[in-house]
């Protein structure tokens, strides 16, 4: 009964999404307040029914109702409750419902936080979001009904894929989806602005916080996914350039470009058609990612079980959503010239340059990801494009991005003097090159990649310090507190995020250059040495869990005589699927992780143990945290709230005047 | 001496690494010969240098039966077989290129994660550079056009220009807390 | 509407074309680079008479098929009746390449097993399977360690190679042979090769 209620609620949500898609748009066209006003309650009602539907599905999982096909294939009565709940999104149908739910959540957020927007504009935004929502809910209902019954019910479920039974599963998908789907708001704002022909600084200012928050979610989602892969896969890799990872990375790159482009459009009124195109592009790449994961056109470790019918449906959805928006763009973009003037040497140019580079990087990832498909479609053979290609292409493209990233903030808007600017940044740059070479030499790993990485990282850090010092000097004489207060949250956001890139580069470079690995056969009492650490094997014990059997190795991590940690890697076999899994054990430190995973037991009783030393690896995620934090600061800038309040007041006056 | 701190740390790191390298080599040497210390766990690889080469190459080779994993990451039977092949042939003195050729002859370019540069992959390898130059050219073109447009707008009255400047300066300073009046 | 603003739309439609076509393709099927090349030479023990070995020379002058199979291979069971039927109708001689009979079976831990013991076990298992399911093969050979399989670029069982009179591989079928694949692809190719001689 409850699954049927969930199904019914989803149908109601579809009806409301259609109402939301059509009525406000008609209202905006006819300038009818009554029709426009329908958008808000329709969006909120839709949210209610989707959440209700989602709860019903979760209920089936929690109750182990194996008469529901989805629960039978993705849950088990012995699965821990946490993974029963998260198992809902560990499959195609349930994750699609999560997609729809996060879209609905974003829409509701727009209805709540955008009271200051002009009615017609808000109506159009809601209409566009309603259309996307209708597309996805109907996709769920038509091709991927999560409430499908299995009659007769099976006695026991097949359990959630053991790889997914991990705390990472609890937060990674929701964060990632909030990010992916969050770009729909920037998209809807852009389309609404194109419809109304009002693409001005105000539009950019309205979109900015939404875009930034979506970007923060996406950054966090990708970072958590990468961290999860790092400890879960048992050998310490953290990025694989898998097509599905690329599918999340492409919108991230374009979203990063969009954030910067919006800044210019807001402040200087320039790049408007370009910004609109980026807003459409970022969301389009999110949709494309959805297509890639769910259609089966590419092979990936993350892909869901596929069905060509689903692929066709999403492709149709893609054609309608992206095709229509690009057509609208083609019709309206020619009107978007003008904006503030700026000279060749100016912050605008630096930002536009970075925009081009990020877009090229994103396009290159797309090219690499889809190239095998292109060749296959043209019957020119099958190839694989993997990490060696992406690394070869990506490093040269990202190097100028980092240089421009730290050069741009030293340039003035509008017009600057190149010589003066170069003079400003040169000392730090020269120092960075020296530090890069020096530290590569100090760690005895002078390769071009290490030198380049450390130079760039040093450049980011030094330039950040210089930037902050310069900002501080602006108000000479004022108290420290006053000086700090004079710096806006948006500026801190920029500063932190850029610094995060530097920290990230340090992590990537150090672990890429200096990590160490050793596989040993260990018997009780034996020890091994790696990177100055001693690993003492204290035997293996049984450590069965609720739905798996496991052996747990006890390994003391020592430095000299000092006991640092006791590591407990596990080798598990999940009973329902008979699938073996390694659970690595980590000693996490600021400057290095020590990572141990347990292999199989040999005939003579010894265990194969893999030992890894990963210097600075946590800096990769620390960098991501700083970037995300930067986004939070940027989005929280008082300016938006103050301007929103003023616009709301103005809107109130308009209403009062028209009444 | 805070200025020296990063270098000091790096020097420490260098020492650690050097020490570690000694340990690895030491462990390897003792494993290769008769283990002097019975409490020292033997390495899985009989020849750690060979193993490192094998795995480095294995990371660039695709496991054909897996969902996009290299034969280094996968434990599928075929991945293990191919890894053994790679190890055996490297041990027999073949170069990495020869081993790669051996696999490509049998499984095609599909096994290579780094696609070879040839007619059908020209666009793949040169595409990013082409996009970059295209983007740069477009950027240069736009910036020049923009300057011309701006030059054409120079017939504004002095009063207009002064007002525009005031507005623009207000916008340019938007990072600083601004009085509400500076925006309209 | 200026033409240049249509560029993104056109690019997008180009991409959609490829994606739509991609839906009809199987990304996991890898074509063999050995097509139209001489089949790799090998010499392996025969399943029926392990003391004797078999090599490609013995099939010289005929069009024949090499079918890769193993008793643990589930999909082989699916195509096997068709092979038996083909043998009855004498469509084409089929040589069986018994692939990693023991060590390929995930249920057996073959590590540390002596080669003689493994071979004996493989023979016993393979013979029993052919007795149970019928033996459609002219003969089968034992590829205990899968080396010959690698030479043929085998990555999944079953796979079937069509080899011509001169010992060249002319076609590779990946996965179980279906009646449709037999009728529409394999038989026409066999007839074409026979006519060509």
Domain locations along chain B: 48-116, 117-150
Close Cβ partners of A571 (under 8 Å, ≥ 6 residues apart): A550, A551, A553, A580, A581, A582, A583, A598, A599, A600
**pLDDT, position A536:** 94
The lowest-confidence range among A21-25, A298-302, B27-31 is B27-31
- pLDDT surpassing 70 at residue A656: no
C-alpha–C-alpha distance, residues A587 and A567, integer Å: 7
Q: What is the mean pLDDT of residues B18-28?
A: 45
Predicted confidence band of residue B30 (pLDDT cuts 50, 70, 90):
very low
Residue C155 φ/ψ, nearest 5 degrees: -130, -10
User: B-chain residues within 8 Å CB-CB of C152?
Assistant: 106
What pLDDT, on the 0 to 100 scale, is given for residue A470? 87
Q: Of the candidates A284, A298, A382, which has its C-beta nearest C31's C-beta?
A: A382
Q: Give how far B29 is from chain A: nearest CA, Å.
A: 13
Cross-chain Cβ contact B105/C100 below 8 Å: no
- Cα(C143)–Cα(C118) distance, rounded to whole angstroms? 11
Chain A, residues 342-401, CB within 8 A of chain C, namely 370, 372-374, 376-377, 381-382
Q: Which is more confidently placed, A197 or C52?
A: C52
Give the residue from chain B lying closest to C156, CA to CA: B65
Bridge partner list, A598: A609
Peptide bond into C158 cis (omega under 30): yes
**pLDDT for res B179:** 37
With CB atoms and an 8 Å threshold, state whether B85 touches C150: yes
Burial of C116 (0-12, 13-18, 19+ CB in 10 A): exposed
Residue A343 reports pLDDT greater than 80? no
pLDDT band, residue B150 (cuts 50/70/90): low
Q: Residue B126: closest CA among chain A residues belongs to which residue?
A: A393
Residue-wise burial string across B143-178, b where 16 or more C-beta atoms lie within 10 A, e elsewhere: beebeeeeeeeeeeeeeeeeeeeeebeebbebbeee
How far apart are the C-alpha atoms of A383 and A327, rounded to whole Å?
34
Predicted local distance difference test score (pLDDT) of residue C172: 92
Question: Is the ipTM beyond the 0.90 threshold?
Answer: no
DSSP state at residue A80: -
Q: Are C150 and C164 in contact (CB under 8 A)?
A: no
pLDDT number for residue B7: 42
Three-state DSSP class for residue A251: helix
Q: Is a pLDDT exceeding 50 seen at residue B47?
A: yes
The model's confidence at residue B152, banded by pLDDT at 50, 70 and 90, is low
* Cα pseudo-dihedral A307, A308, A310, A312, rounded to 10: 170
Predicted confidence (pLDDT) per residue in C142-179, tens digit: 999 888 999 999 988 899 999 999 999 999 998 899 99
The length of chain B, given as a count of residues: 184
Rounded CA separation A228/A584 (Å): 11
- Which among B85, B104, B107 is the nearest to C155, CB-wise? B107
Rounded to whole angstroms, the Cα distance separating A239 from A250 reads: 14
CA atoms within 13 A on the CB side of C61: 2
Rounded to an integer, what distance in angstroms lies between the CA atom of residue A387 and that of residue A364? 13
Taking CA atoms, what residue in B is nearest to A367?
Answer: B124
Q: What is the mean pLDDT of chain A?
A: 90
Q: What SS3 state is found at C65?
A: strand
> Which residues in chain C have their CB less than 8 angstroms from residue A327's CB?
9
Full DSSP string of A571-619: EEEETTTTEEEEE-EEEE-SSEEEEEEEEEEPTTS-EEEEEEEEETTHH
Q: Do B139 and A353 touch (CB under 8 A)?
A: yes
- Between chains, do A397 and B128 touch, taking CB under 8 Å as contact? yes
Q: Which long-range contacts (CB under 8 A, 24 or more apart) does B8-16 make?
A: B9/A591, B10/A438, B10/A439, B10/A442, B10/A443, B11/A442, B13/A442, B13/A443, B13/A514, B13/A591, B13/A615, B14/A442, B14/A443, B14/A444, B16/A531, B16/A532
Neighboring chain B residues of C156 at a CB cutoff of 8 Å = 64-65
Residue A488 has pLDDT above 50, yes or no: yes
Taking 50 as the pLDDT cut, the residues of chain C under it are none
Question: Please, are residues A502 and A454 in contact by the beta-carbon 8 Å criterion?
Answer: no
* Residues A357-407 pLDDT 10s: 999 999 999 999 999 999 988 988 889 999 999 999 999 999 999 999 988
Using CB atoms, which residue from B10, B132, B135 is nearest to A439?
B10
The answer, for A123 touching chain C at a CB cutoff of 8 Å, is no
Optimal mutation site among B68, B70, B104, B171, interface A, most CBs of chain A within 10 A:
B68
Per CB-CB distance under 8 Å, the chain B contacts of C100 are 77
Residue A620 · residue A506 · CB < 8 Å? no
- Render pLDDT for A301-329 as a digit per residue (tens, 0 to 9): 666 766 778 888 999 999 999 999 999 99
Inform me whether the pLDDT recorded for B13 exceeds 70.
no
Chains touching chain C, criterion 3+ CB pairs below 8 Å: A, B
Q: Which of residues 87-146 of C touch A (CB under 8 A)?
A: 111-112
Structure tokens at A90: 């560990």
Q: Strand, helix or coil at B40?
A: strand
For residue B86, give the chain C residue with the closest CA.
C150
**Token couple for A37:** 């006003």
Q: Report the C-alpha gap between A620 and A236 in whole angstroms.
A: 13
Q: Is the dihedral of CA A19, A22, A24, A30 positive or negative?
A: negative
Specify the pLDDT at position B43: 86
Are C168 and C152 in contact by the 8 Å Cβ rule? The answer is no
Res C26: pLDDT = 79
- Residue A533 has a pLDDT of 94
Model confidence at B46, pLDDT cuts 50, 70, 90, reads confident
Residue predicted with more confidence, C90 or A106: A106
Compare all CA atoms of chain B with the CA of A396 and give the residue at the minimum distance: B129
Closest CB to C150: pick one of B65, B81, B104.
B81
A541 bridge partner residues: A552
Side-chain-facing half-sphere of C59: CA atoms under 13 Å: 27
A618 pLDDT exceeds 90? yes
In angstroms, what separates the C-alpha of C155 from chain B's closest C-alpha? Answer: 6
Span C38-196: which CATH code?
A: 3.40.30.10
Q: C171 to chain A, minimum CA–CA distance in Å?
A: 15
pLDDT at B104: 93
Task: Pick the range with the lowest mean pLDDT from A267-281, A578-592, B4-18, C33-47.
Answer: B4-18
The angle at the Cα of A143, spanning A137 to A146, to the nearest 5 degrees, equals 70
Average pLDDT, chain B: 73
Backbone phi, psi, residue A38, to 5°: -70, -30
Query: Is A213 in contact with A189 (CB distance < 8 Å)?
Result: no
- A246 has pLDDT over 60: yes
Q: Which phi and psi (to 5°) does residue A572 adopt?
A: -115, 150
Top-ranked range on mean pLDDT: pick from A24-33, A153-162, A291-300, B70-79: A24-33
Q: Report which of A343, A358, A443 is spatially closest to residue A399, judged by C-alpha positions.
A: A358
pLDDT tens digits, A529-541: 998 999 999 999 9
Question: CB distance A341–B150 less than 8 Å?
Answer: yes
Omega of the bond prior to A654 within 30 degrees of 0, cis? no
- Cβ–Cβ of A615/B13 closer than 8 Å? yes
Q: What is the pTM of this model?
A: 0.89
Q: What's the pLDDT score for residue B57?
A: 92
pLDDT bracket for residue B25 (50, 70, 90): very low
Q: Residue C2, CB half-sphere, CA atoms under 13 Å: how many? A: 9
- The angle, 0 to 180 degrees and rounded to 10, between the axes of the packed helices A272-295 and A308-318 is 170
Residues of chain C in contact with residue A329, where contact means CB-CB under 8 angstroms, are 5, 8-9
Please say if the pLDDT value at position B146 is more than 90: no
Decide if C75 contacts C176 (C-beta within 8 A). Answer: yes
Chain pair A-B, CB pairs under 8 angstroms: 203
Query: How many inter-chain contacts (A to C, CB under 8 Å) are there?
Result: 77
What DSSP character marks residue C177?
P
Q: Two tokens at A632?
A: 């939070």
Task: Give chain A's length.
Answer: 659
Phi then psi for residue A557, to 5 deg, are -100, 120
Q: What is the mean pLDDT of residues A53-67?
A: 94
% of residues, chain A, pLDDT over 90: 62
Asked if C32's CB is within 8 angstroms of B108's CB, the reply is: yes
Comparing CA positions, the residue from A199, A625, A207, A315 lying closest to residue C18 is: A315
| pLDDT confidence band for B134 (50 / 70 / 90) | very high
Candidates A70, A106, A94; CA nearest to A169 is A94
> Using CA atoms, how far apart are residues A262 and B26, in angstroms rounded to an integer?
57
Average pLDDT for A246-263: 94
At A265, list the tokens.
């459009």
* pLDDT at residue B22 tops 50: no
Cα angle value B9/B15/B21 (rounded, 5°): 135
**B48-116 maps to which CATH number?**
1.10.8.640
pLDDT for the residue numbered A561 = 86
Closest CA to B124 of A363, C27, A257: A363
**Minimal-distance CA residue of chain C relative to B108:** C33
CA distance B17 to chain A (A): 6
Selected residue with higher pLDDT from A348 and A190: A190
Which chains border B (3 or more CB–CB pairs < 8 Å)?
A, C
Chain C CB contacts of A333 below 8 Å: 2, 5
CA B37 – CA A534 distance, rounded (Å): 14
CB–CB contact C23 A311 (8 Å): yes
Distance from C-alpha of A621 to C-alpha of A455, rounded to nearest angstrom: 20
Residue A122: its H or E element: helix A119-143
B176 vs A48, residue with greater confidence: A48
Nearest to A368 among B41, B66, B124 (CB): B124
How does A616-632 read in b/e, with b if 16+ C-beta sit within 10 Å? bbbbbbbbbbbbbbbbb
Which of A580, A576, A583, A584 lies closest to A79 in space, CA to CA?
A576
What gap in Å lies between CA A189 and CA A279, rounded to an integer? 9
- What is the structure's pLDDT at C142? 93
Out of A273, A295, A327, name the one closest to residue C23 (CB).
Answer: A295
Burial code (b: 16+ CB inside 10 Å, e: under 16) for A235-261 equals ebebbbbbbbbbbbbbbbbbbbbbbbb
Identify the pLDDT of residue A45. 96
């Amino acid at each position: 009964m409850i699954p049927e209620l969930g199904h019914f609620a989803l149908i109601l949500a579809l009806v409301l999404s259609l109402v939301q898609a059509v009525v406000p748009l008609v209202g905006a066209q006819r300038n009818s307040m009554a029709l426009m006003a329908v958008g808000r309650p329709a969006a909120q009602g839709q949210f209610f029914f989707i959440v209700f539907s989602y709860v019903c599905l979760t209920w089936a999982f929690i109750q182990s109702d194996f008469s529901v096909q989805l629960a039978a294939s993705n849950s088990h009565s012995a699965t821990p409750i946490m993974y029963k709940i998260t198992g809902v999104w560990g499959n195609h149908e349930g994750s699609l419902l999560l997609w729809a739910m996060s879209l609905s959540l974003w829409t509701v957020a727009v209805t709540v936080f955008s009271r200051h927007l002009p009615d017609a504009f808000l109506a159009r935004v809601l209409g566009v979001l309603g259309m996307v929502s209708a597309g996805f809910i109907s996709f769920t209902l038509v091709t991927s009904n999560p409430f499908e019954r299995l009659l007769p019910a099976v006695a026991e479920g097949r359990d959630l894929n053991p790889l997914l039974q991990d705390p990472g599963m609890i937060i990674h998908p929701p964060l990632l989806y909030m990010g992916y789907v969050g770009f729909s708001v920037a998209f809807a704002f852009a389309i609404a602005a194109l419809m109304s022909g009002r693409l001005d600084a105000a539009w950019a200012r309205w979109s900015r916080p939404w875009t930034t928050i979506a970007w923060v979610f996406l950054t966090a989602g990708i970072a958590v996914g990468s961290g999860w892969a790092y400890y879960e896969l048992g050998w310490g890799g953290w990025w694989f350039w898998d097509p599905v990872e690329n599918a999340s990375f492409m919108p991230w790159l374009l979203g990063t470009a969009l954030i910067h482009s919006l800044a210019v459009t807001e402040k200087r009124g320039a790049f408007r058609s370009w910004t609109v195109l980026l807003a459409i592009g970022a969301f389009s790449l999110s949709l494309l990612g959805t297509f890639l994961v769910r259609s089966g056109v590419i092979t990936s470790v993350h892909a869901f079980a596929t069905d060509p019918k689903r692929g066709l449906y999403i492709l149709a959805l893609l054609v309608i959503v992206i095709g229509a928006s690009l057509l609208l763009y083609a019709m309206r973009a020619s009107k978007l010239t003008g904006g503030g003037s700026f000279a060749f040497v100016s912050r605008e140019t630096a930002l536009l340059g970075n925009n081009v580079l990020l877009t090229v990087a994103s396009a290159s990832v797309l090219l690499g990801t889809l190239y095998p498909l292109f060749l296959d479609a043209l019957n020119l053979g099958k190839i694989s494009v993997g990490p060696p290609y992406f690394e070869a292409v990506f490093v040269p493209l990202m190097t100028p991005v980092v240089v421009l990233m730290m050069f741009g903030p030293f340039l003035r808007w509008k017009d600057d003097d190149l010589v003066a600017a170069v003079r400003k940044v040169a000392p730090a740059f020269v120092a960075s090159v020296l530090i890069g070479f020096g530290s590569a030499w100090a760690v005895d790993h002078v390769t071009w990649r290490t030198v380049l990485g450390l130079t760039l990282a040093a450049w980011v850090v030094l330039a950040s310090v210089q930037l902050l010092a310069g900002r501080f000097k602006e108000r000479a004489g004022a108290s420290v507190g006053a000086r700090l207060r004079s710096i806006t949250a948006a500026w801190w956001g920029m500063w932190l995020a850029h610094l995060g890139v530097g920290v990230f580069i340090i992590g990537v470079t150090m672990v890429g250059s200096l990590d160490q690995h050793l596989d040993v056969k260990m018997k009780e009492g034996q020890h091994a040495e790696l990177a100055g650490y001693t690993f003492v094997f204290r035997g293996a014990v049984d450590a069965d869990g609720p739905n798996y059997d496991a052996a747990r190795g006890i390994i003391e991590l020592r430095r000299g005589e000092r006991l640092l940690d006791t590591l407990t890697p596990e080798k598990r076999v999940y009973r329902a699927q008979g699938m073996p899994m390694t659970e690595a054990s980590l000693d996490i430190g600021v400057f290095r992780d020590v990572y141990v995973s347990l292999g199989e037991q040999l005939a003579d009783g010894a265990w194969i143990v893999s030992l890894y030393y990963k210097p600075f690896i946590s800096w990769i995620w620390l960098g991501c945290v700083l970037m995300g934090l930067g986004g939070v600061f940027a989005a929280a800038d008082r300016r938006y709230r103050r301007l929103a309040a003023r616009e709301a007041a103005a809107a109130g006056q308009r209403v009062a005047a028209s009444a | 001496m805070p200025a020296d701190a990063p270098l000091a740390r790096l020097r420490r790191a260098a020492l650690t690494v050097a020490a570690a390298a000694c340990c690895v080599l030491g462990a390897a040497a003792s494993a290769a010969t008769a283990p002097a210390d019975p409490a020292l766990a033997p390495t899985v690889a009989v020849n750690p240098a060979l193993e490192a080469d094998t795995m480095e190459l294995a990371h660039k080779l695709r496991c054909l039966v897996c969902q996009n994993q290299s034969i280094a990451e996968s434990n599928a039977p075929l991945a293990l077989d191919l890894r053994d092949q790679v190890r055996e042939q490297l041990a027999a003195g073949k170069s990495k290129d020869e081993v790669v050729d051996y696999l490509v002859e049998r499984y095609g370019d599909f096994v290579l994660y780094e696609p070879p540069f040839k007619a059908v992959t020209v666009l793949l390898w040169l595409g990013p550079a082409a996009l970059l130059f295209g983007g740069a050219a477009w950027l240069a073109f736009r910036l020049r056009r923009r300057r011309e447009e701006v030059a054409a707008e120079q017939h504004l009255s002095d009063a207009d220009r002064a007002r525009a400047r005031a507005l623009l300066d207000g916008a340019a300073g938007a990072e600083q807390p601004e009085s509400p009046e500076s925006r309209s | 509407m200026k033409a240049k603003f249509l560029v993104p739309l056109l690019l997008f439609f180009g991409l959609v074309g490829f994606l739509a076509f991609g839906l009809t393709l199987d990304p996991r099927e890898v074509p063999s680079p050995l097509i139209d090349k001489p089949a790799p030479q090998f010499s392996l023990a025969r399943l029926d008479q392990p003391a004797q070995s078999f090599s490609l020379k013995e099939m010289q002058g005929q069009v024949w098929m090499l079918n890769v199979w193993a008793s643990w291979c589930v999909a082989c069971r699916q195509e096997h009746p068709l092979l038996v039927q083909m043998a009855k109708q004498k469509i084409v001689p089929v040589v069986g390449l018994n692939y990693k009979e023991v060590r390929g079976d995930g249920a057996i831990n073959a590590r540390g097993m002596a080669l003689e013991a493994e071979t004996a076990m493989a023979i016993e298992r393979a013979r029993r399977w052919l007795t149970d399911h019928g033996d459609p093969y002219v003969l089968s050979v034992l590829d205990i360690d899968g080396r010959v399989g690698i030479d043929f670029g085998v990555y999944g069982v079953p796979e079937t190679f069509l080899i011509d009179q001169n010992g060249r591989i002319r076609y590779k079928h990946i996965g179980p042979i279906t009646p449709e694949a037999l009728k529409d692809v394999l038989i026409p190719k066999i007839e074409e090769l026979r006519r060509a001689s």
